[in-house]
């Protein structure tokens, strides 16, 4: 899908054909769409297809006056057949042409949707430097937002784990730990791209030319570093939690087994006593009318004494 947009009077207008200063948003484009845009805008097809590879790493390169920026962006997806969500990352391609800016992604994301719905202040399609930095800044804030969500989910799982004897909660923690690894790796790769933007000038990108843009880039770098630190901290906490709660689940199971063993000991006493009397013919005390009730009472007394002893030994 291709959308051609242009900022006019603070609002985005959809166009039928590219004009100078427009934004071309490509969502999972087909081969024919890639060829069309590559021909019209004079862009290498490899630049347009770079972000369509899920394994593409963040990088920045220039060729024939066109600059390609690939960054990893966070993604939240519903897990099929479940009420929970999975956190992952995917590449976003930003191609800066002499006349326009092109974004390419495989899936719909909240990051691009924010710009399409005009939720970003002072956003203009023809201010390419500012547009790039706003994309990167918004991306860093989404990392921070999703990291806080992961921390909140972890705390909820922690409350459930205290009484758990199943592996469900541990599997959820493992899924979150995997997400944190993705986040941490992507953020570190993004940091390299941001550092290059700060140090070097690329065709059609003149960050150093405008002090406001340079300040915004510094803010992006700070947000990105904060996200890296948060991802590392949460990952360490999660590792410790998984080790601790694996032991807790095992301990909870031992407590249940200990309780069942104690109940089995107490319940076996009446069987033992009744077995003694059942093996004797004639039955002892058969001449007494109170014999049955006396034996039952004796068995109950022995059970009570054993139960008290086990309770004092903290077996119950």
**Predicted confidence (pLDDT) per residue in 179-234, tens digit:** 888 899 999 999 998 888 888 777 777 776 677 878 888 899 999 999 999 999 98
Would you state the pLDDT for residue 29?
Answer: 87
Average pLDDT over residues 98-120: 88
**Which tokens go with 18?**
């590219």
- Residue 314 banded pLDDT, cuts 50, 70, 90: confident
What stretches of the chain show up as alpha helix (H) in DSSP?
31-41, 45-49, 110-116, 128-161, 168-199, 211-278, 291-312
Choices 3.60.15.10, 3.90.180.10, 3.30.460.20, 3.90.1150.10: CATH for 2-251: 3.30.460.20
Task: Identify which of 196, 178, 188 has the alpha carbon closest to the alpha carbon of residue 140.
Answer: 188
Q: Cα dist. 284→81, 269, 275, 276, 313 in Å?
A: 65, 18, 12, 10, 35
Domain ranges in the chain?
A: 2-251, 253-312
The model's pTM: 0.76
d(CA 227, CA 313): 51
The pLDDT, as a whole number, for residue 98 is: 85
Average pLDDT over residues 146-172: 76
């Amino acid at each position: 899908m291709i959308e051609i947009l242009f900022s006019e009077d603070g609002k985005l207008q959809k166009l039928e054909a590219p004009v100078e200063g427009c934004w071309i948003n490509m969502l999972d484009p087909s081969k024919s769409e890639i060829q069309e845009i590559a021909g019209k805008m004079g862009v290498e097809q490899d630049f347009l297809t770079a972000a369509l590879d899920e394994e593409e790493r963040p990088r920045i390169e220039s060729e024939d006056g066109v600059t390609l920026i690939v960054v990893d962006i966070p993604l939240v997806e519903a897990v099929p057949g479940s009420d929970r969500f999975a956190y992952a990352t995917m590449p976003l391609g930003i191609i800066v042409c002499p006349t326009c800016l092109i974004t390419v992604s495989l899936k719909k994301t909240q990051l691009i949707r924010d710009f399409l719905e005009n939720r970003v202040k002072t956003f203009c399609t023809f201010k390419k430097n500012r547009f790039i930095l706003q994309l990167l800044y918004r991306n860093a804030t989404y990392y921070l937002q999703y990291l806080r969500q992961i921390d909140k989910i972890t705390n909820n799982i922690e409350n459930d784990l205290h009484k758990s004897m199943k592996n469900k909660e541990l599997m959820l923690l493992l899924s979150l730990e995997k997400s944190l690894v993705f986040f941490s790796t992507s953020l570190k790769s993004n940091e390299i791209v941001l550092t290059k933007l700060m140090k070097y000038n690329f065709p059609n990108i003149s960050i150093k030319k405008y002090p406001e843009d340079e300040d915004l880039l510094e803010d992006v770098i700070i947000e990105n570093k904060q996200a890296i630190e948060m991802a590392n901290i949460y990952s360490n906490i999660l590792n410790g939690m998984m080790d601790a709660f694996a032991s807790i689940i095992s301990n909870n199971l031992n407590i249940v087994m200990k309780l069942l063993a104690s109940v089995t000991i107490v319940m076996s006493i009446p069987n033992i006593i009744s077995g003694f009397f059942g093996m004797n013919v004639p039955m002892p005390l058969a001449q007494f009318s109170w014999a049955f009730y006396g034996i039952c009472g004796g068995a109950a007394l022995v059970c009570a004494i054993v139960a008290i002893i086990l309770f004092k030994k903290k077996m119950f």
